Amino acid sequence: MLLEVKGLTKFFGGVAAVKDVGFKVSKGSIFALIGPNGAGKTTIFNLITGALPPDSGTIRFEGRQLVGLKPYQIAAAGITRTFQNLQLFSGMTVLENVLTGAYLKGRTGFVKSLFCLPSKNREDKRIKEEALALLEEIGLEEAAGLPAAALPFGQQRLLEIARALASGPRLVLLDEPAAGLNSTETRSLAAYLKKLREKGLTMLLIEHDMETVMEVADRVLVLNFGHVIAEGTPQEVQADPEVIKAYLGEDDQVA
């Protein structure tokens, strides 16, 4: 197993945002978290990436315990993410966003950065080439020199994904990557995610668009009020009476 989450619990005030959640994600799969708003999905992402400390529970990645590590250490361990409300570096260009995402690929520190060293220039050149290749793959190569804020919304979502991929992670957490995309963009996103899976990348996916989830996910975890109410293949979950009940009151969420 690439990722193993056990007994994960997080309280906000007196309310359990996530209660005793456990799941396992195998390498090279797409694992979807679904559930109504406020079910605790984003909180689970924040717990895995270290943005929030869990109250209890364990998170193991490649056998290594992540609880207690700082977010940057978790990124260095091989986990990156995208944000539901985009957190691009909007003052930077598209290319600079990806270069910043590739921070972990570089070695040059603060002091060395002050000087013009051949080793630094070689490193910069290599990372820049890789970043450009990634932009080409995702279809943003022509926008490389534009300010990130100038991109249309759909491309900003893609840029966030490119930034998350830039460091060469083994697990990527995607928080509603299709939100705000039109149906064509959503189709091509789904195709891209499947292509990434073929390359061996593992993904955790939060998504409200059920069509996308059913299409790409290998396994689905359904949450409601911080609890796991079902887990299984997309087909199993779709037929689960608990899931249908949870979604009846929130049918506006299901596409």
Partner 1 sequence: MHIADQLLQLLFTGLTLGSIYSLIALALVTTFNITGILNLAQGEFVALGALLAVSMYAAGMPMAAAFTVSVLLVAMLGGFLERFAIHTARGASGLTLIIITIGLSISLRGLALLIWGTETYSLPAFSKGGPLFIGGAAVNPQSLWIFGLTAITLAGLYAFFELTYWGKAVKASVINRAAARLVGINPHTVSFLAFTASGALGAAAGIFIAPITMTTYDMGFMLGLKGFVAAVIGGLSNVGGAVLGGILLGILESYSAGLISSGLKDAIAIIILLAVLLIRPEGIIGAIRERKI
Partner 2 sequence: MWKKAILRPAAVLLLFAVPLLIKSNYLLSILIVIGLYTIIVQGLGILMGYAGQVSFGHAAFFGLGGYTVAILTTRFHWPTVLALPAAALLPGVIAAIIGRPTLKLRELYLALATLGFGILVHIAFTEGKELTGGPSGITGIPYLSIGGLTFDSDIKFFYLVWITLFLILAGINNLVRSRVGRALRAISESEHAAENAGIDTAKLKLQAFIFSALLAGLAGGLYAFYVTFISPSPFGFHASVQFVLMAVIGGLGTFWGPLLGAAVVVTLGEFLRWAVPLVIPGAGGEYQIIFFGLILVLLMIFRPEGLGALGKCLKLSPEKMPGTGIPSKDI
Task: Choose among partner 2, partner 1, none what residue 13 binds, the Cβ cut-off being 5 to 8 Å by kind.
Answer: partner 1
For position 71 contacting partner 2 by CB under 8 A, the verdict is yes
Task: Report the phi/psi class of residue 114: left, alpha or beta, with left for phi > 0 and alpha for psi in -120 to 50.
Answer: alpha
Is the Cβ–Cβ distance between 177 and 205 less than 8 Å?
yes
Distance from C-alpha of 118 to C-alpha of 166, rounded to nearest angstrom:
23
Please list the helix, strand and coil fractions of the chain in percent, rounded to the nearest 5, in that order.
45, 25, 35
The dihedral over CA atoms of 120, 125, 129, 135, expressed in degrees to the nearest 10, equals 70
Task: Choose among partner 1, partner 2, none what residue 71 binds, the Cβ cut-off being 5 to 8 Å by kind.
Answer: partner 2
Going by the DSSP 8-state scheme, the letter that residue 85 receives in this structure is S
CB of 166 to partner 2, least distance (A): 8
Binding mask 155-194 for partner 2 (x = CB under 8 A): --------xx-xx---------------------------
Task: Choose among partner 2, partner 1, none what residue 35 binds, the Cβ cut-off being 5 to 8 Å by kind.
Answer: none
For position 146 contacting partner 1 by CB under 8 A, the verdict is no
For position 46 contacting partner 1 by CB under 8 A, the verdict is yes
Scanning residues 41 to 70, which ones bind partner 2 (CB under 8 A)? 42, 46, 49-51, 70
Q: Which residue lies nearer to partner 2 by CB, 160 or 207?
A: 160
Residue 207 burial class via C-beta count within 10 angstroms: exposed 0-12, middle 13-18, buried 19 and up: buried
For position 202 contacting partner 2 by CB under 8 A, the verdict is no
Distance from C-alpha of 245 to C-alpha of 235, rounded to nearest angstrom:
16
For position 52 contacting partner 1 by CB under 8 A, the verdict is yes
For position 82 contacting partner 1 by CB under 8 A, the verdict is no
Q: Which residues bind partner 1 (CB under 8 A)?
A: 13, 46, 51-52
